[in-house]
Amino acid sequence: MAVLYERIGSAAVITIDRPETRNAVDWATAELLSRAWRRFDLDGEALVGILTGAHGTFSSGADLKAFDLVERPEGWLGFTRLHSAKPTIAAVEGHCVAGGLEMALWCDLRVAGAGAVFGCFERRHGVPLLDGGTQRLPRLVGLSRALDLIMTGREVHSGEALAIGLVDRVVPDGRALDTALELAGSIAGFPQETLRADRASVYEGLGRPLEEGLAAEARLGRAVLRYAEAGAARFVAESRQAG
């Protein structure tokens, strides 16, 4: 299978496994990615989704040799126009370029091996960014830096990626997935209802006036206040036990 779905603890690990193409995505792989992320959303035991690539490479993007991708409501690569209600992490080793970068940008967080390389390499081949890169990249690194990467197609190595906010953590090569799993375990250990409400509030407020963002925060926060009350009760009980 070109896409693997594996449950590890509270995480669902979705792995692109096409070594002969440096994990490039053709039509069949995009279909499998779409199914995998839908499976994650329906998997009640999977609290965090992790996207990674096998054989030391994240993904080189669209398979230009096959050149058989089609536009679908879910996105050309199978899932980049979907929305997950649960946290997601990209575990990046090696090349994460072109559509591979766009898939990583879809995730909430990115953990990169020290040797990881990022870039909008589709620029070099006259291919447009079609899986959210022109929208998500400026939101992460700012307008000027995004335009630099999009218009030049240059390589970005892990140190620069960390400095500009393209990735959140840089770890030794070969440790990206393990670190992502550790991070997923930490996230999964928190009360999920309020965590997801806060995450949703961040995304809903993006690009909106402050007043609208605050209104969204208030609405989503009120919906989970009962969980906050339960958390406060647990805190009081634990404090009494500790005392």
pTM summary value: 0.96
Residue 236 binned pLDDT confidence (cut-offs 50, 70, 90): low
- Does the structure show a pLDDT above 90 at 204? yes
- What are 17-55's pLDDT values in tens digits? 999 999 999 999 999 999 999 999 999 999 999 999 999
- What are 62-105's pLDDT values in tens digits? 999 999 999 999 999 999 999 999 999 999 999 999 999 999 99
Q: Cα–Cα distance between 141 and 149 in angstroms, integer?
A: 10
Residues annotated as catalytic are: 102, 122
Q: What burial letters (b/e) apply to 89-105, b meaning 16+ CB within 10 Å?
A: bbbbbbbbbbbbbbbbb
Q: Domain spans of the chain?
A: 3-188, 192-242
Burial (Cβ within 10 Å: 0-12, 13-18, ≥19) of residue 21: buried
**Class of 3-188 in CATH:** alpha beta
